Structures are given as structure tokens and as C-alpha cells.
Structure 1
Amino acid sequence: MTLALIMGSVAPALAGPSADTLNVDLSQTTGTFRGGASGTLYGLGDDGVPSQAVLDGAHVTNTSQKPPDGLQHPSGDALNVEKSFFAGSGKDLYVYVQDAYPDWPYNSGHRPGDADHDGVWDYLPVLKAAVEKVATKSAHPRDYIFIPFNEPDGGNWYPNWSTQKDQFLADWSAAYDTIQSVYAAHGLGHAKIGGPGDSSWHADRSTDFLSYAKAHNQLPDVFIWHELGTNNLATFRGHVTQYRQLLTTLGIPEIPVNITEYGMLRDMGVPGQLVQWLAMFEDAKVDAQTAFWNYAGNLSDNSSRNNGANGGWWMFKWYGDLTGARTVKVTPPQLNVPDTLQAIGAVDTAQKKATVLVGGGSNDVAVNISGVDPKVFGSSVHVQVRQDRLNGAEGASLQPPVVVSATAAVVAGKVTVTIPNRDRYAGYQVELTPATTALQPVATDLVNTTEAENATLTDATVYAQDPSREWSFMASGSRDVGSFNKADSAASWSVTVPRTGTYRLSILSGSNQQPGQHAFFVDGTYNQLVKYSADLGWGYRGTADVTVSLSAGTHTLSVRASKDGSTVLPGADITLDRFDLYDVTNGEQATYPAVDARLAGGASLTCEAGRASLSGSGSATFFATTAETGYYDVTTQFRTTGASALALAVNGRAVQLPAVSHAGPWNATVRVFLPQGVNELKVTAPAGATLDGITTLRGAAQKAADANPANVFRSEAEALPMSGAARVQTDAAGSNGSADASGTVHDVGYLGNGAGNTLGIPRPSGFGAGDYQLVLGAANADKAGAINYNPQVISRFLDITESGGAATRAAFRNDYAWNSYWDKTIPLTLTTATGTLLLGNATAYGPNLDTVTLAKFVAGAPTVARSTGR
């Protein structure tokens, strides 16, 4: 027996006749949440690529990288990324040792011999050198796992098992002993080794390998193979069952599994695809790593730009949020069928929260939740559903909106919620909490979403993006609009807005390794230029935003390849995928309730209104996303039973909030300059407090703080003093940079590659010692030669040195074109009153710079006020 949801102002969607049914039984637990299926291959590029907040939020526990100084890629060196990896959720850092070779397949696909006839197999010195560097230079050598062979069955040295089995097994022994000897020599004990590393599951090879390794006391510490193709969504559970039966047959104790490559291009960044893989691997309690198809340093296409979240990142984040819970039995409509509805269910009885992550279907979803224990949840519960949509690899995804928010009575331990869904690429987070928690309202800021192929098109072509094509990126609605390259090319659509105000148009789109421009028209009148950043290709999509004032009522919006109808704008051949219009009249604002925080140090959710109880070292961490760089009011909502004070850390930097002297509900607000994208906000209350949550707001007052020269210094890079070889350059047409009155964009290039090639930032009056944010509009399109099929991208670095003070190094990931700029925000703590900042790099070139912004980290003094609304 189930019971309908009781809504506040929003009624639940009724399940249609074609609704999919998902059964979740909270009473049947399937084990402790493992959380290792969001691992990555080359997900980290360099220290700071991705940013620490992006990495922490994604809760990446395992990653595979290249060996120190390996030649397979110019970035992704294990030693270069270990600091940021282990600073977050990192536990196991794997090394693809054969990635010391530059080519793919390795060594032209042939096993190397003994070329110099010294009696030593030529691979062993390569292997020994890599392990030696980890053993002697790593701060975490015992947390490394060495993979001596990658896809030996797939063209890398041992494809023919019938004739090469004995050679591989002998080589396994030689590699195993070499690795162990290095660690033993340095007193590091047993070195962890993973293998065999096959490109797919092979029962015969695995049987022979395990039998041999057991007999020679050389069993791997982690058993590894790959599950790449879509068909593996159907076959993996059978493979892992065979593997475990094989261990039992051979009398081998359990060896954990890591599927060190999974998924195809079409899966990355797509919530409804990723959840199918995550559910399958979590069900089997194995670790797994997304395959590396494109860029190192963006979590395998599951994060965006320098510091951003895309749809894939949010699915990783939700998955990581389940840490500490126990998974429960989930029954989807079909198990082991690719591209169907799948889910993960988990319950945390201590925190009184149940979560279901679901996606992959094209119908409404009737989620039947049974086993709802009234001793844990009470007689009624709050049900909240958030929607996470596909938004491109480089698309900026903010906090996923609430689409269902309801109170439901629990009848016979059961509750049913219907998720309104027509999007196979979307993922959903369903949360159950006691009804004493505060309800979040259903989001209303998205006032219109229009697929580009449904717009009125002129001289443009609709292209089908078949989701069955594994080597293609997915388009929203499985179609997009291209060939948008003629003077009359246009896409027009109607919107109805509820009030007169300010609206943000976000265009999901793709450009082909160059920035581009469109003319934006409102009701037939030119409004402004849309500037698109460069992307890897037309299918590798990102978002471009413009802000527009609209009166209440219906309007026709249009993007066009020409402003005047005769001259095609530079770079206008942009793929258009989807148009989203948001109401931002009251500013950009978001609420992050305590029930969604990651709690640590003894912090816990209380029965009373879902608050987090903090004291001592207890902490609550939130991951807040922002649409643009600038000042935001961050408000912490809390209650105390006496005198207390909260501390707030913003991306690791402390902000001391004002103390309160007596009991009550309070709001503590600080105006902080935040980077676009993901921001990690950590709250502690050593003297004790209960935390409701955090809100962020960027509206007129915050933008006015941006414009106040007492807070922010802005300059075109070319207006600042240069030295040495640094010089002003004129960008190619179509640049998305800051243009002068003539529409021309200039930047500063040839920074670095010598100690004297610098750009200076004189300190403005009033910008003394303290905490700052340095924001650089930067372009980096540097690549190494085409060694193999991956884009061989190179991060560039700048050292920011304060005259009389310290230096800070910042990494700039590749952003596809030298005339396409992304903001990079660098935290600085300045120690002198007037010392000039010098930007340079003594040993290599830095990025090209378009704009320079130096902002005080905190504007004004933090405030605390008694709350009247709680």
C-alpha cells in the first residue's frame, strides 16, 4: 500500500501509462557504500588541474596516471598530481608504468627484447626507474599501485594467448620482482601491484594468470581489467561473478577489483549514462575509473573549464555524498540491459537520510520506496528530487534544481514518488528525510527551455546525434543544429516571461577549436553580441551566457550568424543545442541545506529540522556553484544555546565570522569574491552550534561591490608594464576577449621562458597586506606533437611574485585557442604594503593574458544578525 505525496504549492506529476517502476527496499541492505566507481584515468593533469574544489567535490578516491617523466602524454604525471589528489578523497594512486613509452600501442605494439644484449629485458630498466622515482620522491609511496601491463591482450605485446602465455607469465614474474626489490631497498615494505590489466574480461587468461601467480606467490593486490563498450553494461555482472567463482575454485582469498577503464565518449559528462555504470559497479562493490578519451585534467570530461561543474560532475558529487551510508536493494525495470533506467539506493540511519540516484530512462519514474522505518524517519517524510541535465563537457552547471518537493505520510513502511522525466540523459537525486526538516521549494527560475532543433530555423541544418554511436558526444534531445555559417542563418524561438526584469540566456553550443560570435536579437531588434569560447570540436559542447532585460509577456528571441544580414560574424559556424532562459531579476541565489552537507569530525544531523550539530572539530562542507566570478554574499544560518562563534573556510581560506553572545537563531553574512564554478565552503563551530545551511547571493549590491575601485582593481593586460620579451599582440577576429572601441582584442604574449619576461601589476592605493583574489583572463592552446590519438594538451604556468614577499604558482589548462579566454582565479595572501606583483615563468612560457583583476577576498566586515524567519 502506498500513499500519494502531500505538496505545499506544487502538485506531484502523475505517472503516465508508460512510467517506469523502480523499487527500492531500505530494509534490505547490500553492504557498506564503497564509492570507488567515480575513479578516473588521467582525470588529473597537473597540480591545480582540476582545481581542488572540483576534485574534492567529485570525491575521487582512485585515479590512474602516467609514471614520473613518462612520455605517453605531456601531463598527468603521478608525482605532479599526488599533492592535490591526497589532499582530497584520494586513497589509491595507480600508475600505468608502460605509459613511459610515447607511442600507442607501446613500442609499436611489440614486446621489447634485449637490444643492448646486456642480459636484461629492456622493459625492466624502464619499470625500475619509474618505481624508483615514486619510492624516493613521493610523499605517499605506500598509497601507489603499480600496473606493469596495460591491455596486454589488446595489441600490447601479448595478444595471442595460445603462443604468448608463457612469455607473459614469465614477464609478470620479472616485473613483480623488480617492483618489490625497489621498495624493499628503500625500506617501504610490500609494493602494491595491479594486474593483469586486460582490455576486456577473459576467463581463460584470468584462470591461467591467477593459477600461475598463486603458485609463485605473486598475486596482484588489485585485479584489473577494462569494461569499455556499451555491451559491458549487460555483461559486467556476469564477468565479476565468474571472477569471484574463479577465486573460490582456485582457493585464493578475495582480491579487490578495479575496472581501470570504463565507458565511451557518449557516456562522459552525461548523468543518465554515468549512473548506469556507477550503479553496476557499486552493486558489485568494485572500484572503477572512467576511460580517458580526450583531455587530461578534467576528470575524463566530467568537469568544465578551470573550476566548473558539468552534469557529469554533479553525478560524481551526489555519488560521493553517499559515503558513510549503506546501499540497499534496488530493482530496476530491467537489469543488465544497456540504456535503461538504473539506480543506486542508500540509507544512512545515523543521519536519518535515504538517497536514490536514478537515470537512464525516457519515461516518468515511479519510485516505490519500502522499508521506511518509522523509528528512523517518523510517521511522515520529506521527499525531494533534484534534476541533473546533460550540459556539455565544458558547460557550466549550477546547483541542480529541485523538481519535486513534498511531504508524505508513511503507510506500512512505504512511500511512492513520481519523477517527471522525458530526458534519457538526465540523472535524478531522490532524498527522504524526516518531515521535521525544512522543505526546499521547487525551482522556478528556469522560465523556458527550447531545443535548438525545435526553434524556427533559417539556412541551418538539424543533425541527428544517434545515442548508439559510442564514439560521439551526446546532444540534448539527441539532435542539434549546425551548418550555421551563412549571412541569413538564424534560430528564433518564443518565450513568455512572468515579470519585467533581468534574464540570463544560457546557450548550450559547440565551436570547432576557435571562439565565435552570434548576434542576439529580441523582438527583431539587435540586442548584443554573444561570444562563444572555443571548444575541442562542434560536438564537445559548452555554454555561453548573456544577460537581457525583458518586459513581462511573450517575446521572440533570435541568434543569428550576422548582425546586419550580409556580413557573417567571425566564427559564426557554431553548433546550437539548447536555449535555457533563467529569471535572475532577484539575483543569482542558491540554498544549500545542512542535510546535503558532508559531515566530518563527529558532526551529525539532528532530528530537529535536519540541522547539522557542530562542536569541537566537527565540520559541515558544502560545494556551492557560481555562474560568474565576483562578489557573493555567503550567509551561514545557525542556532546557538549560548555564546558561540562559527568559522568559515572558503576554498581552504579562513573567514572568521562574528561571535554571538547568547542563544538564538542567527544569520552570519560575509561578502566574498568567488571564482566561477565550484566553491568549497566548510563550516565549524568549536563552541557548538546547529547549522541550518548556507545561502549564496549575487545581485545588485554584490555587483556594485565589484565596481567599487576600493575593492577591485581591473586592467587590460596590455595597459600594464611589461619587461623583456613580453609584448602586446592583436587577436584574430572572433576572439571572446575584452575588445576596445573598435572591436579589436589585444593580449600580452611571450610571458615567461626567461626570468626577465614579465608583466607587472602595481599595487593600487589601499591594497595593502591581506588576502586577495587575482583573476587572469588567460588563453593557452599549447600542445605537444601528435604522439597518439589523444589531444596532447599542455598546461602552462605563471609564477606570481610579490616584491618583498612570496611567490605563488598557478596552472592554466589548455583552453583550445590562443584567442579564447577563460578566467583563472588565483588566491593570494600579500605580506607587504606596496610590493608590485610580477607575473612570469623563468623556465617555460606562460599563457597569453587579456585582462587582469585584483580583488580583495572579503569586501567590508562580516556581519551577524538575529534571524526573524526561523
Structure 2
Amino acid sequence: MTALVATTLTVAQPAMAETDVLTVDFAATTGAFRGGATGTLYGFGDIGVPTSALVNGAHITNSSQRAPFGTQHPSGDSLRIEDGFFAKHGTELAIYIQDYYPDWPYNGGQRPGDTRTYNQSTGTFTNQANGVWDYLEVVEFVTEAVASQSDRPESYLFIPFNEPDGGNWYPNWSTQRDQFLADWTAVHAKIQQVWQRHGLGHARIGGPGDTGWRATRSADILRYTRDKGNLPDVFIWHELGINNLATYRTHFADYRALEQSLGVPPIPVNITEYGMLRDMGVPGQLVQWFSMFEDTKVDAQTAYWNYAGNLSDNTARPGGANGGWWMFKWYGDLAGSQTVKVTPPQPNAVDSLQGIGAIDTANRRATVLYGGTGDDVQVDLRGLSSAVFGTAVDVEVREVTLTGAEGLAGTPRVVRALDGAAVNGGNLSLTVPTYDRYAAYQVVVTPAQDRAITVDPVWTTSVEAEATQLTAATAYNQDPQAGGGWKFLASGSTDVGSFNQPTSKADWTVTVPRTGTYRFQVIGSAPGKPGRHALFVDGSNRTTIQYTGDLALNATSKWQYRGSAEVSVSLTAGTHVLSVRASQNGTQVLPGSDITLDKFVLTDTTDGEPTAYPASTLRYYGGAALGWQSGTRGFGSITGQAQRADAYLNAMETGYYDLAVEYNTTGASDLRLSLGGRALPVVQVPNGGNRRTTVRAHLTEGINELELRSNLGVRVKSVTVTRAPGGDASASTIEGEALTRNGSAAVANVDPNAGSNASGGQYVGWVGKGSNNYVSIPRSGGFAAPGSYDLVVHYANAELAGSHDYNPQVVDRQVVVTEGTGTTPVGSAFFRYTYAWNSFWQRTVPITLTTSTGAIRLGNPTAYAPDIDKVTVAPLVIGSPTTVQIG
């Protein structure tokens, strides 16, 4: 096992690395897992932004969004996104009612008076007083919209005041206290009045929503609302600064003590904004926040520092995971558990080792999530009951590292494994090398399973860019506490910039274990536009690294909002020098080559990079659970239509993959798989035994949601995903300029010197904004038959609407897909922001075709669609599932 660990760890550790100790006592439970710490503010942009796979995998339970028809931001409307939010895990959707106003601070920071008359049917107004406070009319309009148009009005929380202490109407408590309290009463009464006329009972209202913990204001508000009978249903404040990692628990304790002193029963708490730019997308930072909020059993929402629709910088590209998303996912995996006592070296300390422990006795699974230190960690496990775990356990430790906001993070790999480790008196200790203080770790403990527990067999290694041999480039320290947290973090706290000379290069000497194909990934930041580097291998120009643009609307994000670029390269076994260069010829820089470099990752993909999702990591619903029968110990038991298991499969590139499910049945049975909500062919097995069923299916870049069911019963051992590039021939790709164009749709060229990733240097624009302005694809070849397909659209969308002090006001453009001359959509999707009009990403639109001749039309009758570089039409499944008996 030692040898295996050595070949898969991502970096060599220093010989004298210090060790921190994290103690987890599974015998000391601290309550039911709440799971509310991964809430978001404006985490949702429009329908399907983020994708359902990202939302469901992240297990989002609460979010605050724009008021219906509000004008503060161009997207994030609660009524538009509610279906996706409530589809699986969403329980409470909050509304910032003041976001009905277009400006920040609201109404210029001044409390409105009575100068307007609102039309309650449209929300429009005239500048004429009518004897009613203007904001009360807004509150009524917003509340009425939810009451009359939502399918889940009972699951909404109304937040009438946001940061009233911070420049929004009531900053001076000594002179504005009475006004705020009177306004609270008026607004509370109006919301309840609307709810009652719709027969909806009691409307939930949250407040006060201060920028931070305000003891005096909070005491006055609680005392007043207690006496008036209009207490908040959820008590709200924000925890935004770096030091809040040290002070939050004191704030919370003070709040609970205040309730008790006033005779107020405990009120649920939601910290509706937390964290700084530096925390978003960073696993080792997020786990510190999660641990505090889970300890205190509150909901909490990541702050909205950039734009709506990417879970507050915790997703990558339209459908991908960054390191932060995997931290969200791991946290959501704890649902159904009891949390337990965790003792870090130093509680309530900024930027330090913190963790969450949980035990799920029904599934006999214990989990620890931790991060925040650059030292190695000794994890001391206590209270592993022999009644639950026996005398020997299996332990898997997975690692997720920082990949930047837009950098793709693959499925976290097992970097430390114990197979059948002895437990002495309920105790077990293991030491895990730490990659970087921004990384996080998941430790899963189960009884000994009927599968081998090993480190991940796929070879991968990485290096910090500053640790390579640099020429004409500079390493810059990125202090994680600089600027009060208003910055984006770099892996290892350092990156490489000034990469703008013809001689600029970063040379990495690396030894690979065998001859084959490798994925070379660069984590870095292109400043608002696409760009290119050359990759040399052993002094020979091998390929071009193509970067898409990254966020660069201000100095805070430019060169710091990091993404990733991936290329495939063939290498022979042995030592090579991989050289990333700003120039191919040594005399001229490549277009857009002034890109910061953060980290390089090299992964062996020769065998398709098989990635296993064992049963111990799946999510179980409806009575499905891990089983511990002899011969299938640690398999997932699924029986009946109500039961299922969910897996979140990562694809580093769009294309065909072999989805192999290993399982056991006790007799004749069935296996039913659903990918992204679409049923795959049902598999029937004639008798009992161990089997492997393989389906070749099309996956999209990023996270794909797989659901497993069986009417008659299966015990699932694992799902393994392997890239199958041979299947890609079944997909058909058509360049945008080759599409049939109608109406205003027209071909445009990109500047050849701009570094754009437009395929062939052209794209088609001016699609939509009228039902006659569309492009179409004649039916032929691989997509002539009716059925389920993926329509992969490579697109650009850099539309902005309005202005804001710090939020980029992005617009999600929509593509509506129809078939033949029909007007009923066969698929549609919204396409998120790509930072530049010449920077193209991909978004997959699931479509279901019912004819064999009707052309596939892409348009949008009401607004512009994104610019289209190329499209790929791919059957969801190719061939028939294959099932083999295994030992």
C-alpha cells in the first residue's frame, strides 16, 4: 500500500513536515445533520443555470433570490428558478424584496416616502402620491406574485430588509430605530394580509438582515417584535469578513443568550451572506465556514460577490465542478447522519484546520471532512462502536484541491486507503499528507467491505507553476488575507505572471510511468479574453494550449479569477520536460499569451481514465441503503420503484463513456438507469449472481447525474466511468457557418490575432429575437432516427444589462430547439456568461426527436440566442447494454 500511495499523491511532501491533530469522537453525537451551510445568495441565474446535475449534486437546501420581476439584477428571479431549486433538495427559497429596486443602495440609500402610485397588476408606477408608503406597495406586489404564481408558496421566506444598518434606509439606529420598527410592523402585516387572502396561512418572514452581528439593534428588534406578536420566523444577519471565522460562534452564542434573556423561544437562524471573494471555490476555506454553521445548526448562504448562476463561484463553466463544488457535494453527502464532536488544534481561529464529523448508523458509514492547514494531518478517530463497525474497518481518504473558479476539478481521488484496518477499543489513527492549505479531504469509514480498498489506480501528478523552471516570468505571492479578503486565491499562495515576452516559459521536468496518452491541464487566468500558449515537449513544439476568457471586469478579478485549459499529449515512459511558452517561434508572442499560471496537472488517460464511484459514496433514497450481508458487504441495496441511489459522474470532456455497473441479484431482476432524468434501456437479468452491465452513453463536460433503480432488487457494488473515444464517431458536428441560416442569422469572422477559440475562425450570430431568425440542421446519418439526443452547442454570450457597484450584470441567453416546422420545443436551455464575445464554451441541450425528417432548428422567438460556433448532435446511448457474469 505504501508504494501505491507514493505513485498517486499529487506532490512530494517535505521530509520534516509538521503534523496537526484532528480528533473526531463518533460516540459523542451533537445532533441531526442540518446541511444548510451550502445555501447561496443569487446562486441561481435562470432556468437550468446552474444545471440540475450541479444543483442536485451540491445538495442546495436554501437560497436567496431576486424578487419576482425585480430590477436590481437582470437574472435570478425566484419564480423562474423555483422548479429547479425544489426538484430534489431545496426546502426554503428566500426573496430579497428590496431587490425590486434597480439601484444599490436601494432607492439611493434613502427610505422612500409616498411619491408613487403603483399598479398592482403590473408593478409599474406613476410619480404621484396616493397616501400609501411606496415600499408597502412594492411589498404587496411581490408577495402577491409569489402567492398567485408559485407552485410552492409555502416554501418561501420573505426578507423585507437587506443590510438596513449598512446604508439601506436605517443606518443610524439612534435616530431611525422607531422608524424601522414601525416599518417592520407595517411590512409584516402587509405580507400576512396577502397570504391570508389566498388562504395560505402564515407567511414566513426573516430579518433584520444586518451586515453583521449587531447586539443592540438585535435586542431592540426582538423585544419589540415579541411584544407586537410579529417576531421574525428566521433571524438573519451576515458574517462576511476574514475575522468572522474566529468570531462567529461568539456572535451566535450571544444571540441565543439574548433570546433567552428576553423569553423568546429559539428562532431558526440563517446567515444569509458569508465569506469573502477569497473563500469561494476554495475547499480548504469553505470547510472552515461549513464547520461553524453546522456546529450551530443554522442555514447559511455564500455571498454574492460576482454574478448570478454559478453557486457563488462554486461551479466551473456551464456544467462543471471546481474544487469548491466538490466540497459542497461532500457536505451534502452527510444528509441523514448525526454530527459528532470534532476537536481541532485551535477552534475559532482564522485560516486553520477545522472539520466536520458525522455518523450514519443506518448505513454504517462514518465521515470526516476537514481542511485549512498546510501541515500533514493526523486524524484520530474515536468511538467507532464494534456494534456498528465490527473490529476491522475500511478507510478511504479523498482529496480535492484548488482549481480556481472556472477550473475543472475531476472526481476527487483516493489518496490514502486502509483495507481491513484493526480498530482497538473503538480507536483508529491515520496520518494524511496535505497537498496545500487550500485543499480539503474526505475520510469515509465503513465496516470491512467485500471489495478491495486501494488508492486510486489512475496515475496523476501536479506541480505549482512557481516550482517550475521559469524564464522571463515572475512568481507573485498571493497573500490570502490581503485586501481584507477581496481577492481570489492561488494554489500554494503563489502564481506566475508577467508571462508576456517571446522568451517567457515555464519548464516542468516530470517522469511518467508508461508510454501512452496524458491530459495536461493548466490552472491559470486569462484576463477577460481568450489566449494561447505553446506546449513544447523535450524542446519540440507539440501542441497549442487554448484558453477561454476569465472574469476581468475589475482589478480584483483580472488575472486572478482562474480557470483551466486542457490538452492531450502522447508521452513515452520516462522523464520529459514539458514547457509552457508564450511563443511558438521564440520571436513573437502568441495572441493573448499574457496569462497567469497557477498549477500544472498531468493525468494518464491511456485507458480512458476509469473512475469508480463505489456504493459507499452513493446517496440513497426511499429506503435504499448500504447492505452488509455476507458476500455483498458494503453494496447498495435498491428494491422497488420508490427506492433509488444517485451518483454524480464527472466527465473531463464531452463525449462517449462506458458506464459499468457492478451488482448482485438473488434471482431474476432488473437494473434501471436514468441519466440526467432520461431513462436508459432497462436491463433484465434471468437469475441471481454477480454481474457487470455496461452502457455506452454520451456525457457532457462536467457533472452528470445518474440515478439507479430496480423494481425487483439489486445490490450495487460500484459504478465505473471510462472514456470511450471510439464512440465519438456516432456524433455529428456541424460548424456554425455550415448551418442552414434563416432570417437575420448571419456568419461572422473572428479576428485571427485575437486568440479566440472559435472553431474555423467563424461563428453565426444574430440568431433569435424573432421566430424567423434561426439556424437549422437537416436530418441525416447518425441522427436521422427519432429518439433521445444531446445537442452540444459551442457558444459565446457576453451580454450585460444595467450596472451595479460590484456585481457583473450578466444575462443568460436562451436557445429554443424545435423540430421541422413544429413550434413546440423539443428542448431548450439558458446559456451563461462566457466573459467575451470571442470566447466560446459548450452547453448541452437534451432533446427528444419524434420524426426522422424534421430539421433541428435553433432559435429564440423573444430574445437573442447566444452566438454559435458549432453544434454536435449525439445519440444519448449507442448500441445496447452488455451484461456479463463476473466472479
Give per-residue Cα distances to partners, 1:497-546, cap 9 Å, x unaligned: 11111111000010111000111111111111110011003111111001
Partner-residue secondary structure (3-state), 2:163: coil
1:336 to 335, 341, 348: 348
1:362 to 374, 381, 384: 374
Q: How is 1:278-293 mapped onto 2 (pairs within 5 angstroms)?
A: 278-293=290-305
1:497 to 486, 499, 512: 512
Contact 2:786/2:852 (8 A) holds in 1? yes
**Shift of residue 765 of structure 1?**
3.7
Contact 2:801/2:811 (8 A) holds in 1? yes
Give per-residue Cα distances to partners, 1:249-305, cap 9 Å, x unaligned: 111111100000000000000000000000000000000000000120000000111
Q: Which amino acid aligns with 2:470?
A: L
Contact 2:796/2:838 (8 A) holds in 1? yes
Contact 1:388/1:427 (8 A) holds in 2? yes
Give per-residue Cα distances to partners, 1:663-703, cap 9 Å, x unaligned: 110011110011010011110111011110101111xxx21
Contact 2:750/2:758 (8 A) holds in 1? no
Q: Which amino acid aligns with 2:462?
A: T
2:645 and 2:742 map into 1 onto residues whose CA distance is 46
Give per-residue Cα distances to partners, 1:754-794, cap 9 Å, x unaligned: 11111011111452111111011111011113233110000
Q: How is 1:359-758 mapped onto 2 (pairs within 5 angstroms)?
A: 359-407=371-419, 408-469=421-482, 470-536=485-551, 537-607=558-628, 608-616=632-640, 617-698=642-723, 702-707=724-729, 711-732=730-751, 733-740=753-760, 745-758=761-774
In structure 2, the residue matched to 1:3 is none
Q: How is 1:243-322 mapped onto 2 (pairs within 5 angstroms)?
A: 243-322=255-334
**Shift of residue 436 of structure 1?**
2.6
Contact 2:531/2:591 (8 A) holds in 1? yes
**Shift of residue 735 of structure 1?**
4.3
1:833 and 1:577 map into 2 onto residues whose CA distance is 49
> Given the superposition, is the C-alpha separation of residues 841 and 17 from structure 1 closer, same or farther in structure 2, using an over 3 Å criterion?
closer
In structure 1, the residue matched to 2:124 is none
1:551 and 1:625 map into 2 onto residues whose CA distance is 27
Give per-residue Cα distances to partners, 1:811-858, cap 9 Å, x unaligned: 100110111111111111101121011111111111010111111111
Give per-residue Cα distances to partners, 1:697-740, cap 9 Å, x unaligned: 11xxx212212xxx221110111110111100001333443543
1:212 and 1:242 map into 2 onto residues whose CA distance is 18
Contact 1:222/1:255 (8 A) holds in 2? yes
Q: TM-score, normalised by structure 2?
A: 0.95
Q: Which amino acid aligns with 2:804?
A: I
1:7 and 1:461 map into 2 onto residues whose CA distance is 37
In structure 2, the residue matched to 1:88 is 88
Of the structure 1 ranges 555-564 and 60-69, higher mean CA displacement relative to structure 2 is found in: 555-564
Contact 2:26/2:340 (8 A) holds in 1? yes
2:318 and 2:475 map into 1 onto residues whose CA distance is 31
Partner-residue secondary structure (3-state), 1:499: coil
In structure 2, the residue matched to 1:778 is 795
1:794 to 796, 808, 811: 811
1:458 and 1:322 map into 2 onto residues whose CA distance is 47
2:616 and 2:260 map into 1 onto residues whose CA distance is 42
Contact 2:245/2:289 (8 A) holds in 1? yes
Partner-residue secondary structure (3-state), 1:95: strand
Q: How is 1:850-869 mapped onto 2 (pairs within 5 angstroms)?
A: 850-868=869-887
Q: Which runs of 5+ in 2 are unaligned?
A: 116-127, 552-557
Give per-residue Cα distances to partners, 1:610-645, cap 9 Å, x unaligned: 001111121111101011001001011111111001
2:174 and 2:15 map into 1 onto residues whose CA distance is 55
**Shift of residue 117 of structure 1?**
3.6
Q: Which runs of 5+ in 1 are unaligned?
A: 1-5
Q: Which amino acid aligns with 1:353?
A: R
Partner-residue secondary structure (3-state), 1:214: helix
Partner-residue secondary structure (3-state), 2:316: coil
Of the structure 1 ranges 41-50 and 452-461, higher mean CA displacement relative to structure 2 is found in: 452-461
Q: TM-score, normalised by structure 1?
A: 0.96
Give percent identity, aligned residues only.
54
1:820 maps to 2:870? no
2:477 and 2:757 map into 1 onto residues whose CA distance is 32
Contact 1:657/1:668 (8 A) holds in 2? no
Of the structure 1 ranges 323-332 and 118-127, higher mean CA displacement relative to structure 2 is found in: 118-127
Q: Which amino acid aligns with 2:726?
A: A
**Shift of residue 322 of structure 1?**
0.2
1:567 and 1:735 map into 2 onto residues whose CA distance is 13
Q: Which amino acid aligns with 2:424?
A: V
Q: Which amino acid aligns with 2:474?
A: T
Of the structure 1 ranges 436-445 and 181-190, higher mean CA displacement relative to structure 2 is found in: 436-445
Contact 1:406/1:439 (8 A) holds in 2? no
Q: Which amino acid aligns with 2:547?
A: Y
**Shift of residue 422 of structure 1?**
4.4
Partner-residue secondary structure (3-state), 2:741: coil
Q: Which amino acid aligns with 2:405?
A: A
Partner-residue secondary structure (3-state), 1:289: strand
Contact 2:545/2:565 (8 A) holds in 1? yes
In structure 2, the residue matched to 1:103 is 103
1:773 and 1:647 map into 2 onto residues whose CA distance is 20
Contact 1:78/1:95 (8 A) holds in 2? yes
Partner-residue secondary structure (3-state), 2:492: helix
Contact 2:418/2:454 (8 A) holds in 1? no
> Given the superposition, is the C-alpha separation of residues 447 and 605 from structure 1 closer, same or farther in structure 2, using an over 3 Å criterion?
closer
Give per-residue Cα distances to partners, 1:304-361, cap 9 Å, x unaligned: 1111011000000000000000000110000100100000000011100100000001
1:538 and 1:756 map into 2 onto residues whose CA distance is 41
Q: Which amino acid aligns with 2:528?
A: Q
Contact 1:66/1:76 (8 A) holds in 2? yes
1:422 and 1:502 map into 2 onto residues whose CA distance is 25
Q: Which amino acid aligns with 1:473?
A: F
2:830 to 799, 811, 817: 811
In structure 1, the residue matched to 2:186 is 174
Q: Which amino acid aligns with 1:786?
A: S
1:413 and 1:104 map into 2 onto residues whose CA distance is 56
**Shift of residue 184 of structure 1?**
1.0
1:809 and 1:654 map into 2 onto residues whose CA distance is 19
2:170 to 141, 144, 158: 158
Q: Which amino acid aligns with 2:455?
A: V
**Shift of residue 435 of structure 1?**
1.3
**Shift of residue 16 of structure 1?**
5.8
Contact 1:15/1:365 (8 A) holds in 2? no
Give per-residue Cα distances to partners, 1:41-93, cap 9 Å, x unaligned: 00000010000000000000000001011111100011111010011210000
> Given the superposition, is the C-alpha separation of residues 7 and 371 from structure 1 closer, same or farther in structure 2, using an over 3 Å criterion?
farther
Partner-residue secondary structure (3-state), 1:696: strand
Partner-residue secondary structure (3-state), 2:740: coil
Contact 1:382/1:439 (8 A) holds in 2? no
Q: Which amino acid aligns with 1:434?
A: P
Alpha-carbon RMSD across the aligned residues, in angstroms, is: 1.5
Number of residue pairs the alignment of both structures matches = 853
